[in-house]
Structure 1
Amino acid sequence: MLTQGFDAAWETYLRAGAWLPAPPPPVRPRRVSGLAAVLDGTDIAAVVLDAYGVLHTGGHTLPGAAAAIADVRRRGLPLFVLTNDVTHEPAGVATGLHRRGLDIRPDEVVSGRDLLPQALVAVGGGAGWGVIAIHPRELVARFPALTVVEALADSRPEDWDGLDGFVLVDCFHWNPADLALFRALMARRPRPLIIPNPDVTCPYDGALTLEPGALGLAAARDHGVSVHFLGKPFPDLYALLKARLPGVAPDRVLMVGDSPHTDILGARGAGLRCLLVESGLLHGQDTARRLAESGLWPDFIAGAIAPAAEAA
């Protein structure tokens, strides 16, 4: 697992404006105790949760997450998890959430991986493209035109000169040698990327990971690489979500997230309301300062998805 400091990740986000959707108009956030307080005081008709930083941080389920999910279900509201976790299909994501004690069904998970088929159709089904992933065989079984890029650190940049582009699914399994080889690939012969996970970083059990979004932004900035991002904050994923909520006005849908540049930017840009929780990316940070730096403002702010009394 490759990690980075908060300042490096935050600077990447701040420099990414040219590749991200336009920011929504500012609003004045209201501080609340948690998700239940928002639902008690508004006409919210559906709830959408981020996973990392809201429900869990890898191996650690966040206090109050399971209770918050149960509360949404008691209210009879539609519930979805909108995530940039694309290592597995949505059913696999739901299985992982269940292992953490979180009651989420496979049909309630929406991710950038859902958009991969249409992205590959646009490039000839993936013929001549390589796929870089922890579990590439699952993808090749579904998209047989793809070529698995294996043993990245043990190869040379020229070994992959015959490929026209890369689907970069995840890099959680990388070491520094893998990262160096990927950077050399982009510098030697810049080729387009499809990235289902646009995250720059992710809170993971006390650390901040290096995610594919950071690699794609660096390739675009340094080498002019064309990058097709599929997940949050890009609008196609929110269009997919809205299609699952026919008849529900976007401003009656609440997104609960931890990252200004993915959750706030994506949700409010799509017309949803947004609750930012400080249990993930901004844990230990001066939230007001970071929101001012980003120019991205949620409708609501809470320390966590549920206050300590409810989480107990």
Structure 2
Amino acid sequence: MSPLQLSGIRDLAERFDVFILDQFGVLHDGAAPYPGAVETLVRLKQAGRRTLLLSNSGKRSAPNEARLVKLGFVPGSWDHFLSSGEVAWQSLRRQLADGTGLRCLLIARDGDRSAVDGLPLTLVETGEEADIVLLSASEGDRFDLDHYRRLLKPAATRGIRCLCTNPDKIMLTSLGPRFGAGRIAELYVELGGEVTWIGKPFPEIYAAALDMLGNPDPARVVCVGDSIEHDISGGHGAGLRTGLVMTGVLETSSQAEREKLFAEHDATPDFLVRTFAW
């Protein structure tokens, strides 16, 4: 069945009580909010709709929320924020509760260490030294894949466990789309390593999100995102309705290209909306 074309987020607010929203590609492009996005979050709040921002960011939730405020979003205009980095941090905290220290090769961005702050991990610089690899972000706008191949091959060869806390394969940067952490994780598998994926479209993050929301009636929940592979596939896998915006990674796509992706990922959105605007 083809998705239903809507004129704006107002049409979704008439159908659903709870919104699970992606951030990059839906609310903003990494540098600035999309036109109408700041106001639309406020309008949803005023309409009594509950919102949870669900992100494949390898950073924890708090720095993500701080970034939104810095970009101009109104504090309190969303109810909850949950990042894949937060889910991974909480999981690692439980696993490392005995205080056992591991040597961790952290692949991050902009010097961010929130993925490991407070955990009994010792950061190392090379794959040869690592007991665990934590892949939270990509600097694909600074380095090519060969840089990551050289860095990671010694760890993959030794069978070192890798956690990817940002499954996105494409990221938006000031230089345009570049390969994301998910592509680096694929590279790790190509090098012979094993990867544990945390984030959309995988079930763990949706279970955590719905639990945070108090496990609402699934029929009253809609997931809005720009990625068919992550947001639409993940929402459907969690038994939820989905809305696709045509910004972010799909901004230059044609209808034929989108339909090809629907088939490729067996994930057709229930609704289409041009942008996250009221």
Length-normalised TM-score, structure 1: 0.78
More strand per residue: 2
Sort the Cα spacing of 1:206 and 1:288 in 2 relative to 1 into closer, same or farther, 3 A: farther
Mark the CA change 1:255 to 1:138 in structure 2 (over 3 Å): closer, same or farther: closer
Paired position in structure 2 for 1:217:
186
Match of 2:138 among 171, 185, 196: 171
Letter in 2 for 1:149: V
TM-superposed deviation, 1:189 = 3.1
Cα distance in 1 between the residues matched to 2:79 and 2:276? 22
**Identity of aligned pairs, percent?**
27
SS at match of 1:59: coil
Q: CA deviation at 1:247?
A: 4.8
CA distance in 2, matches of 1:119, 1:234: 17
Deviation at 1:101, TM superposition (A): 1.7
SS in 2 for 1:209: strand
Maintained 8 Å contact 1:186/1:223: no
Which of 282, 293, 309 is the equivalent residue of 2:250?
Answer: 282
Higher helix share: 1
- In the TM superposition, 1:100-249 aligns within 5 A as 100-105=71-76, 108-116=80-88, 117-119=90-92, 121-122=94-95, 127-134=102-109, 135=111, 137-143=113-119, 145-150=120-125, 160-172=127-139, 174-176=142-144, 178-186=147-155, 188-205=157-174, 207-220=176-189, 222-249=190-217
When residues 120 and 215 of structure 1 are mapped into structure 2, their CA distance, relative to the original with a 3 A threshold, is farther
1:269 counterpart = 2:243: no
Q: Deviations over 1:179-207 (max 9, x none)?
A: 24234335543422011111111233461
CA contact (8 A) 2:86 2:115 kept: no
Q: Structure 1 pair 247/118, CA: closer, same or farther in 2 (3 Å)?
A: closer
Deviates more, 1:30-39 or 1:168-177: 168-177
**Matches of 1:252 and 1:128 in 2, distance apart?**
44
Q: Aligned-pair distance for 1:99? A: 1.6
Cα distance change, pair 185–303 in 1 and its aligned pair in 2 (3 A): farther
Per chain length, whose mean CA-contact separation is higher, i.e. which structure has more relative contact order (CA < 8 Å, sep 6+)? 1
Paired residue type of 2:239: G
Which residue of the other structure, out of 62, 74, 80, is the alignment partner of 2:34?
62
CA distance in 2, matches of 1:297, 1:276: 9
Which residue among 74, 89, 99 is the counterpart of 2:70? 99
Q: Secondary structure of the equivalent of 2:28?
A: coil
RMSD: 2.4
| SS at 2:48 equivalent | coil
Instruction: Count matched residues.
Output: 268
- Output the CA distance in 1 between the equivalents of 2:101 and 2:27: 34
| Deviation of 1:129 (Å) | 3.3
CA contact (8 A) 1:45 1:248 kept: no
Could you tell me how far 1:69 is from its partner in structure 2? Answer: 0.5
Summarize deviations over 1:265-312 as a string: whole Å, max 9, x none: 111110111110001111111223332343211110111112xxx5xx
Gaps of 5+ in 2: none
Contact 1:190 1:223 in 2 (8 A): no
Deviation for aligned residue 1:242: 0.7
Q: Structure 1 unaligned runs (5+)? A: 1-26, 151-158
Q: Name whichever of 108-117 and 72-81 sits farther off.
A: 108-117
2:269 is the counterpart of 1:298: yes
Other structure's SS at 2:263 match:
helix
Alpha-carbon shift at residue 236 of structure 1 (Å): 0.7
Q: AA paired with 1:30?
A: L
Please tell me the residue identity of whatever aligns with 2:275.
A
Q: Please, which moves more after superposition, 185-194 or 60-69?
A: 185-194
Per-residue CA shift, 1:46-70, capped at 9, x if unaligned? Answer: 1111111101111121111112101
Q: Distance in 1 between matches of 2:213 and 2:114?
A: 29
* Deviation of 1:229 (Å): 1.1
Q: Is the 8 A contact 2:236 2:267 kept in 1?
A: no
Partner SS for 1:175: coil
- 1:252 and 1:209 map into 2 onto residues whose CA distance is 35
